[in-house]
């Protein structure tokens, strides 16, 4: 079994490799070693010191009923983040020699040779690494998308799920807890977050960073349109791993700050008129959809 990438770019065939030689999971010692090397992995859970009280009205009762479920879902997704990171790191540590991901001119008359230092096994290793990278970013942003829903229930905002719900929740949060709102809203400007968001978006909707793009650039000319052909865009495994490490640290910081900035029990349901801050008057929430 050979990948399409290998068939397209290998300069010559190599002996076949057993699929299961390279599709492996870390054993207990390897798992613990990876956990010890990245302390953020042990901080991927949200522990909240207080929880909203059930109020006599139906909205308050429903919110307090929903809150534990959202908290459990968030922590389950964070557990999935930890698992996918460990398995991705496990395959990365086997070695993926893609720092030099193209050579021009290549061997055997090729104008461009991709992954010139790869042997057959490296295509398999990278295939599995790429898969868990994809799952990792999906799980991280699934967890981050769960956080506003948790705050919706915690503060008993009663924002209905659906299109635009996150933006409405953030707008309401700007009235309920200005400090927490400013912290979460400011993440949009964090460089690690921005890079991760672009990687996730490309993995899901565009040409993924884990593969070499087509290298076709279209542009306007006075006479119409022009096209240029070149080397496509690519993100090396080390660059991906670096962003994943940074993103884990950022998520751990987010969880710690959220836990500290939530009010004590009994203060969760604070109407805008009761709030000591009126952030919405001075800060317009970004569109978080």
DSSP class of residue 114 equals E
* Dist CA 268 CA 153 (whole Å): 10
Report strand pairing: 102-103 vs 113-114. antiparallel
Q: What is the pLDDT of residue 126?
A: 95
Q: What is the mean pLDDT of the chain?
A: 82
**Confidence (pLDDT) at 229:** 81
pLDDT score, position 161 = 81
* Average pLDDT of the segment spanning 236-257: 96
pLDDT at residue 164 greater than cutoff 60: yes
Kindly give the interhelix angle for 120-154 and 58-92, rounded to the nearest 10 degrees. 160
pLDDT band for position 169 (cuts 50, 70, 90): very high
Average pLDDT value for residue range 141-160: 91
DSSP state of 209: T
pLDDT of residue 60: 53
Taking each helix axis from N to C end, the angle separating 191-205 and 120-154, rounded to the nearest 10 degrees, works out to: 110
Q: Return the half-sphere exposure (C-beta side, CA atoms, 13 A cut-off) of residue 133.
A: 30
| pTM for the full predicted model | 0.80
pLDDT for 53: 58
| Cα angle 93, 96, 102; round to 5 | 160
104 with 112: CB under 8 angstroms? yes
Rounded mean pLDDT, 75-83: 96
Cα dist. 86→29, 89, 92, 158, 204 in Å?
A: 12, 5, 10, 37, 21
CB neighbours (10 Å) of residue 257?
A: 14
At 67, the pLDDT band (50, 70, 90 cuts) reads confident
- 231 and 115 in contact (C-beta within 8 Å)? no
- pLDDT for 287 beyond 60: no
Confidence (pLDDT) at 265: 47
């Amino acid at each position: 079994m050979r990948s399409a990438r290998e068939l397209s770019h290998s300069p010559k065939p190599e002996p076949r490799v057993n699929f299961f030689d390279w599709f492996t999971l870390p054993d207990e010692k390897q798992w613990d070693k990876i956990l010890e090397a990245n302390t953020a992995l042990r901080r991927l859970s949200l522990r909240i010191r207080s929880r909203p009280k059930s109020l006599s009205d139906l909205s308050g009762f429903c919110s307090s009923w929903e809150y534990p479920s959202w908290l459990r879902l968030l922590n389950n997704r964070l557990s999935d983040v930890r698992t996918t990171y460990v398995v991705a790191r496990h395959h990365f540590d086997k070695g993926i020699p893609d720092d030099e991901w193209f050579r021009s001119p290549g061997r055997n008359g090729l104008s461009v040779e991709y992954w010139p230092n790869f042997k057959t096994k490296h295509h398999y290793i990278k295939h599995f690494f790429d898969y868990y990278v994809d799952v990792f970013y999906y799980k991280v942003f699934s967890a981050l998308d769960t956080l506003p829903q948790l705050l919706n229930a915690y503060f008993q905002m009663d924002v209905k799920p659906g299109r635009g719900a996150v933006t409405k929740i953030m707008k309401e949060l700007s009235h309920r807890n200005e400090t927490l709102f400013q912290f979460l809203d400011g993440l949009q400007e964090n460089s690690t977050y921005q890079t991760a968001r672009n990687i996730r978006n490309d993995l899901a909707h565009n040409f993924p960073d884990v593969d070499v793009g087509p290298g076709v650039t279209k542009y306007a000319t006075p006479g119409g349109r022009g096209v240029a052909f070149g080397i496509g865009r690519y993100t090396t495994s080390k660059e991906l791993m670096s962003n994943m490490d940074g993103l884990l640290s950022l998520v751990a910081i987010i969880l710690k700050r959220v836990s500290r900035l939530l009010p004590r029990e009994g203060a969760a349901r604070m109407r805008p008129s009761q709030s000591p801050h009126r952030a919405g008057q001075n800060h317009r929430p970004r569109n978080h959809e």
